[in-house]
């Protein structure tokens, strides 16, 4: 298997997981933090979980202070993206020294400068050498090694779990009930879901005992996965009522 990238229609190389690519980012580069300016960085529920933990804020505080969020299209799917500072156009989490939440930075930031081009494991560059001088650095690695170094796997697994909550009846672009987006948004506003679990009727209906409840208070990843299950059940009821 060749480790060399292939050229795509737009002239940028295409990589497999075993392909080598050159990249190194550091604060001596003139373009340092430019990748954090005037960009669309879409967040997953797990991204928000990591940010709220890093910032020691509630999920609603993170969403209100650091994101733009809305329900998009006929399907009313929630879209959450990092908000840029209106004056500098930089991400609000970026300082002169770099990302202030680097250890808990979002999935898209960890992937940079790579972008997943297909579900078949094909990658491409999200930017060019004229914008990102790190691509000219004399440091190379395989895509697999880069993703492992950046800690991408846990983000991928959580996003797969989130995608699995959608019932088979859901069709992208199809007009859905207004309640769909609000239910899905619970995955982003995890504190609101935690508040739901304080209701004994909800716990009784979903068979959540004291041990499980205590675990949700101690393990945020477990709470998020439980939220996915709750959302799945709610959506199944919604689609059943629509049929």
Res 74 pLDDT > 70: no
The answer on 209 and 126 residing in a single domain is: no
Instruction: Sort 225 into a burial class: Cβ within 10 Å, 0-12 / 13-18 / 19+.
Output: middle
CA angle 182, 187, 192 (to 5 degrees): 75
Residues 51 and 11 in one domain: yes
Global pTM exceeds 0.85: yes
Tell me the per-residue pLDDT of 181-233, one tens digit each, with 9 for 90 and over.
Answer: 888 999 999 999 999 999 999 899 888 999 999 999 999 999 999 999 999 98
The verdict on 13 and 105 lying in the same domain is yes
Whether residue 11 has pLDDT greater than 50: yes
Which of 97, 126, 158 is the endpoint of a domain? 158
Structural domains in the chain (count): 2
52 and 144: one domain? Answer: yes
In a domain, 166, yes or no: no
Question: pLDDT tens across 127-178, in order?
Answer: 999 999 999 999 999 999 999 999 999 999 999 999 888 766 666 666 666 6
Domain of 17 in residue numbering reads as: 6-158
* Three-state secondary-structure class, residue 121: coil
Asked if the peptide bond before residue 225 counts as cis, ω within 30 degrees of 0, the response is no
How far CA 145 is from CA of 43, 48, 154, in Å, comes to 23, 25, 15
């Amino acid at each position: 298997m060749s480790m060399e990238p292939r050229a795509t229609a737009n002239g940028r190389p295409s990589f497999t997981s075993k392909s080598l690519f050159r990249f190194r980012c550091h604060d001596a580069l003139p373009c340092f933090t430019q990748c954090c300016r005037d960009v669309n960085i879409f967040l997953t529920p797990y991204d928000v979980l990591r940010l709220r933990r890093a910032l020691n804020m509630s999920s609603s505080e993170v969403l209100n202070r650091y994101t733009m969020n809305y329900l998009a299209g006929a399907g009313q799917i929630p879209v959450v993206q990092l908000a840029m500072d209106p004056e500098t156009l930089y991400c609000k989490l970026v300082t002169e020294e770099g990302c202030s939440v680097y250890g808990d930075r979002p999935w898209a930031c960890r992937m940079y400068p790579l972008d997943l081009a297909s579900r078949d494991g094909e990658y491409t560059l999200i930017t060019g050498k004229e914008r990102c001088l790190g691509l000219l650095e004399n440091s190379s690695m395989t895509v697999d090694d880069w993703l492992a170094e950046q800690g991408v796997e846990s983000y991928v697994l959580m996003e797969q779990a989130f995608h699995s909550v959608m019932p088979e009846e859901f069709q992208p672009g199809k007009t859905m009930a207004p309640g769909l987006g609000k239910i899905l948004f619970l995955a982003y506003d995890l504190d609101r879901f935690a508040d739901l679990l304080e209701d004994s009727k909800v716990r009784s209906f979903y068979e959540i005992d004291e041990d499980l409840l205590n675990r949700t208070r101690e393990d945020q990843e477990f709470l998020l996965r439980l939220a996915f299950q709750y959302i799945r059940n709610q959506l199944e009821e919604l689609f059943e009522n629509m049929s």
